[in-house]
Amino acid sequence: MTLAPDGTLATTTPGLVVEAVSHAFGPEPVLAKISFALPAGKVGCLIGPSGCGKSTLLAMIGGLVQPDQGRIVHGFARPAFAFQDPCLLPWRDARKNIAFGLKALPMRASERLARADALLRVVGLSEDDGDKFPHALSGGMRQRVALARALAIEPDLLLLDEPFSALDVGLRRQMQALVQRLIDARGLTTVLVTHDLAEAVRMADRVFVLSPRPAHVAAMHDIAVPHAARDDGFVHAEVGRLLADPATAAALSVEPESPR
Ligand SMILES: Nc1ncnc2c1ncn2[C@@H]1O[C@H](COP(=O)(O)OP(=O)(O)OP(=O)(O)O)[C@@H](O)[C@H]1O
């Protein structure tokens, strides 16, 4: 599915299409005719100023909020979220937090815990870590548990709302690399909300720059270089390239970079 230049749906390749979505909370318009398309298996980043409506749009993509106008079309059946706040249940250990989302599925408790154990390893935690309660885990470990919980339902759409922004720089890079590996290995269609243009350039196939509220798509950038080839030099240069675009610089309230 793609968005034709006239804003209508063209072809039938599966993916995500946001079509002329507008929304207000009370009298305050938040989103104004947002349209974009993301092919299946790709990573899209939503970036824009604070309060412009990124989280609202992500919640809509996941079906948690209905837009006032417009529509969101995709064929994904199992969206999963991870947020800046890991939102773990303090009275359950890490393993049971991961297994919690599986309770709605027809699985025996032993199967749920076995899947949780496998996911502990996938996100770089040990079996002993699985016995720990959230208060005994570091911030980075809690974020790994939240990620494992999101992956437990075997999602076909991963929705990430600034999941790394509370982590220090070194840990953030580790988590970005881990999530990137998991996305690549599973071919997961992903939408990532971020404030950090370098993070968008590092992780996205397509960057959607939102304007200040009421938000519209001020600019869109495709990043074609394979993720594995995006070293620090590439990220630095690509951030410069994006900021040389006046619409992107204006939306993010920075002076446009002069061409190099
Ligand atoms: N449930 C709600 N009821 C009323 N207003 C809301 C609700 N959810 C969000 N808003 C308002 O909508 C606007 C957009 O919020 P949203 O969290 O989507 O923005 P954001 O771009 O993700 O912000 P940030 O980057 O600061 O996290 C804000 O003014 C917010 O106060």
pLDDT in tens, the chain (260 residues): 444 444 444 444 569 999 999 999 999 999 999 999 999 999 999 999 999 999 999 999 999 999 999 999 999 999 999 888 889 999 999 999 999 988 888 889 999 999 999 999 988 899 999 999 999 999 889 999 999 999 998 899 999 999 888 778 888 888 888 889 889 988 999 999 999 999 999 999 999 999 999 999 999 999 999 998 999 999 999 999 999 999 999 999 876 656 55
Dihedral sign of CA atoms 86, 91, 95, 99 in order: negative
Model confidence, pTM = 0.90
- What's the CA-to-centroid distance between 50 and ligand 1, angstroms? 9
**Helices 139-152 and 109-122 sit at what angle, rounded to 10 degrees?**
130
- What's the CA-to-centroid distance between 111 and ligand 1, angstroms? 38
Ligand 1, residues 23, 25, 64: which to mutate, most atoms within 8 A of Cβ?
Answer: 25
Torsion of CA 93, 99, 101, 103, to 10 degrees: -110
Contacts of residue 260, Cβ cutoff 8 Å, sequence gap at least 6:
237, 240
Domain spans in the chain, listed from the N-terminal domain onward? 16-78+155-252, 88-154
Ligand 1, atom 4: closest residue by C-alpha: 25
- What's the CA-to-centroid distance between 166 and ligand 1, angstroms? 18
Selected from 3.40.50.300, 3.10.310.30, 3.30.420.40, 1.10.10.410, the CATH number assigned to the domain covering 16-78+155-252 reads: 3.40.50.300
Contact indicator for 243, 256 with CB cutoff of 8 Å:
yes
- What's the CA-to-centroid distance between 161 and ligand 1, angstroms? 12
